[in-house]
A and B are shown apart, each in its own frame.
Chain A
Amino acid sequence: MTLSASNISWSVGAASIVDDVSLEVREGEFLGLIGPNGSGKTSLMALLSGIRKPRSGEVILDGVPIGRMGRREVARHLALVEQQAETADRITARQAVELGRTPYLGPLSPWSANDDAVVEATLENVDMAHLAGRLWHTLSGGERQRLHIGRALAQKPKILLLDEPTNHLDIGHQIGLLDLVRRQGLTVVAALHDLNHAAMFCDRIAVMQAGRLVAVGRPFEVLTAERIRDVFGVEAAIEIDIEGGCHIRFQAQSGRGGRSVSMGDGTGKRFSRS
């Protein structure tokens, strides 16, 4: 199952938000999407998932323009976990995952034992089986995010799109979640804000800047000091280890003493890519 975008653009009024982006997602890869806030990562995700239509250009899923496929059909192949998805409903953890079966259900195709089996397995998979009965608003951020991933996995997709899945999680949960995602062996596109995590987990990284895709490639090819300065406006030193893993040490802005401060979490070296 392949996903690609050819020359897609999206704008609001006169403001161009995604500008002529072409991208080919390879089967089975973990593709990271990085870029500063407001660079258009979320918008690109919405376009890639087909929930928003590009002003021009096309997103192709398995050879077919995504706009010409039915929404249900798309949802069986591709799942999106949004950046912010909250609810005030009194929904249980299990019910949140059950929503993932929606593309397989309808007025004439009711809930079945198979759906139950998928939900059970998924709850185990994301390590939430022991909290299946808990209400949503009593769960922690990390638990909610695991359920969102669970809901996406219950769709049984081939491709997983994740928009900043580790936002608001502590470092242990961030690594745990990305590890969980990688274990699934699916094609993954994930917007990530921590460059060290991107370097650690991604097969390739795509860089967004002001709506344009400015680079795509292996982490060590893309994450250069010049590009980080250019795109994020921070100074960084890059270390590349023997296995090709790369670690980024950010430096405090000049004029503020110029001391070298590691803003990475210090875990980069221990989790070298396997």
Chain B
Amino acid sequence: MALVVLVAALWLGAAIGETSIPFGVVAKTVANRLWDAGYPLEPIDEGIVWSYRLSRAVVAACCGAALALSGVVLQSLLRNPLADPYILGISAGASTGAVSVAILGLGAGIMTLPMGAFFGALIAFALVSLLAVKAGRGTAAIILAGVAGSQLFNALTSFIVTKAATAEQARGIMFWLLGNLSGVRWPDAWLAIPAALAGLLVCLWHARSLDAFTFGAESAASLGISVRRTYLALVGISAMMTAVMVSIVGSIGFVGLVIPHAARMLVGIRHSVLLPVAALIGAVFMILADILSRVLIPGQVLPIGVITALVGAPAFAFVLGQRRGRG
């Protein structure tokens, strides 16, 4: 069932665009490429479907799933309904890391872009956690620390870009920073798919541990969870997923924040069900957001981050309202 929904969304993603391509052609293209079916097709159509749209839809799906998973994990671990990689500054840190590698040539040769992003993400999370502890832990403290962290790392990124990048580099990077799937091709997908799958598996492996955090970390410890090991594994995997996605498509907000809440409303709080459902909704949401970003303004492509923010901000307001209602 989940697979059907996902395939349908991918199908839509491949068919809809500036020039619509019939669903049959999409199916035949996939058959040609995967099983050498040998259907006669227009090479241009086949090229658009396979090289541009499908790879793009696949990356969008992985990205949505990864961000939603990170959101679920961070919200559950930190007992904070407003936590997500974007708000906590992890995405911003990953951007800084990626830009440091791409422009400053940090770790020349050994560090790839995603690795730079990963270290950036970890440093950002460590810094934000430290700040949050100093500010007195609570829900608000973490969010404020995240805001401060995001600002700091965004400023660092801008600084690096302005100082070291050529004008052309700078324009490309600024577009990428807003969240952009335009340049995505199959090699990106071969990075995004394993990252999202590994993330899903590690999170599912810890589903029971995440359940045990319902009444907080101390309660989890008394239920037999190794809190520190769980934190390390899950924050690590969230940082990894965020870093890979940021290095491919830039930082995209609100998906990690809103999708987990939608999933919880649908299937409840048990993580063994919640995690896969959140991943699925995230994947489908991102594919649809990407389609919207391509067709909303004819002849123009909106950064996908703009779409997710347009949908996400009202949803965010709704979550805030709900919280108040429950006291």
- Residue A102 interfacial (CB < 8 Å): yes
Contact A76 B224 (CB under 8 A): yes
Q: How far is the CB of B45 from chain A (nearest CB, A)?
A: 45
A119: chain B residues within 8 A (beta carbon): none
Contact B215 A75 (CB under 8 A): no
B216: chain A residues within 8 A (beta carbon): 82, 85, 87
B327: chain A residues within 8 A (beta carbon): 137
- Residue A95 interfacial (CB < 8 Å): yes
Contact B223 A85 (CB under 8 A): no
Which of A87, A88, A99, A137 touches B223 (beta carbons < 8 Å)? A99
User: Which residue in chain B gives the minimum CB-CB distance to A76?
Assistant: B224
Binds B, one of A60-68, A103-111, A196-204: A103-111
Task: Knowing A72-B224, A75-B223, say if A99 contacts B211 (CB, 8 Å).
Answer: yes
SS class, residues of chain B in contact with chain A: helix
- Residue B151 interfacial (CB < 8 Å): no
Chain A to chain B contacts (Cβ below 8 Å), 28 pairs: A46-B218, A71-B221, A71-B224, A71-B226, A73-B224, A74-B224, A75-B222, A79-B222, A85-B215, A85-B219, A86-B215, A87-B216, A88-B79, A88-B81, A89-B214, A89-B269, A90-B268, A91-B214, A95-B269, A95-B270, A99-B215, A102-B208, A102-B209, A102-B223, A103-B223, A107-B207, A107-B208, A155-B223
Which of B204, B218, B224 touches A82 (beta carbons < 8 Å)? B218
- Residue A100 interfacial (CB < 8 Å): yes
Contact B269 A91 (CB under 8 A): yes
- Residue A80 interfacial (CB < 8 Å): yes
Number of interface residues of B (CB under 8 A): 27
Contact A51 B221 (CB under 8 A): yes
Contact A103 B224 (CB under 8 A): yes
- Residue A96 interfacial (CB < 8 Å): yes
Q: Bits for A98-128, please: 1 = Cβ < 8 Å to B, else 0.
A: 0110110111000000000000000000000
A87: chain B residues within 8 A (beta carbon): 79, 214-216
B208: chain A residues within 8 A (beta carbon): 102, 105-107
A166: chain B residues within 8 A (beta carbon): none
Q: Using CB atoms and an 8 Å cutoff, list the residues of chain B in contact with chain A.
A: 79, 81, 204-205, 207-209, 211-212, 214-216, 218-219, 221-226, 264, 268-270, 323, 326-327
- CA–CA, A214 to B224, complex, Å? 31
Q: For B204, B211, B222, which residue has the most chain A Cβ atoms within 10 angstroms?
A: B222
A76: chain B residues within 8 A (beta carbon): 224
- Residue A209 interfacial (CB < 8 Å): no
A90: chain B residues within 8 A (beta carbon): 264, 268-269
Contact B215 A51 (CB under 8 A): no
Q: How far is the CB of B228 from chain A (nearest CB, A)?
A: 10
Contact B326 A137 (CB under 8 A): yes
B81: chain A residues within 8 A (beta carbon): 88
Q: Using CB atoms and an 8 Å cutoff, list the residues of chain A in contact with chain B.
A: 46, 49, 51, 70-76, 79-80, 82, 85-91, 95-96, 99-100, 102-103, 105-107, 137, 155
Task: Knowing A90-B268, A91-B269, say if A82 contacts B223 (CB, 8 Å).
Answer: no
Q: How far is the CB of B273 from chain A (nearest CB, A)?
A: 12
* Given contact pairs A72-B224, A87-B215, A87-B216, a sample of 4 additional A-B residue pairs in the complex whose CB atoms are under 8 Å apart: A70-B226, A76-B224, A88-B323, A137-B327
Q: How far is the CB of B134 from chain A (nearest CB, A)?
A: 14
User: Which residue in chain A gives the minimum CB-CB distance to B269?
Assistant: A89
Q: How far is the CB of A103 from chain B (nearest CB, A)?
A: 4
Q: How far is the CB of A72 from chain B (nearest CB, A)?
A: 4
- CA–CA, A79 to B204, complex, Å? 26
Contact A102 B212 (CB under 8 A): yes
Q: How far is the CB of A11 from chain B (nearest CB, A)?
A: 18
User: Which residue in chain B gives the minimum CB-CB distance to A81?
Assistant: B222
Q: How far is the CB of B75 from chain A (nearest CB, A)?
A: 10
Contact B269 A51 (CB under 8 A): no
Contact B222 A51 (CB under 8 A): yes
Q: For A72, A75, A99, A155, which residue has the most chain B Cβ atoms within 10 angstroms?
A: A99
Q: How far is the CB of A62 from chain B (nearest CB, A)?
A: 16
Contact B224 A75 (CB under 8 A): yes
B221: chain A residues within 8 A (beta carbon): 51, 71
Q: How far is the CB of A28 from chain B (nearest CB, A)?
A: 21
10 A-B pairs closest in CB distance: A75-B224, A103-B224, A72-B224, A80-B222, A51-B221, A85-B215, A102-B223, A71-B224, A102-B212, A107-B205
Task: Knowing A90-B264, A90-B268, say if A96 contacts B214 (CB, 8 Å).
Answer: yes
- CA–CA, A73 to B208, complex, Å? 16
Contact B214 A99 (CB under 8 A): yes
Q: How far is the CB of A83 from chain B (nearest CB, A)?
A: 10
User: Which residue in chain B gives the minimum CB-CB distance to A148?
Assistant: B215
Contact B223 A100 (CB under 8 A): yes
- CA–CA, A107 to B203, complex, Å? 11
- CA–CA, A100 to B219, complex, Å? 10
Q: How far is the CB of A1 from chain B (nearest CB, A)?
A: 16
- CA–CA, A70 to B229, complex, Å? 12
Task: Knowing A71-B225, A79-B222, say if A102 contacts B205 (CB, 8 Å).
Answer: no
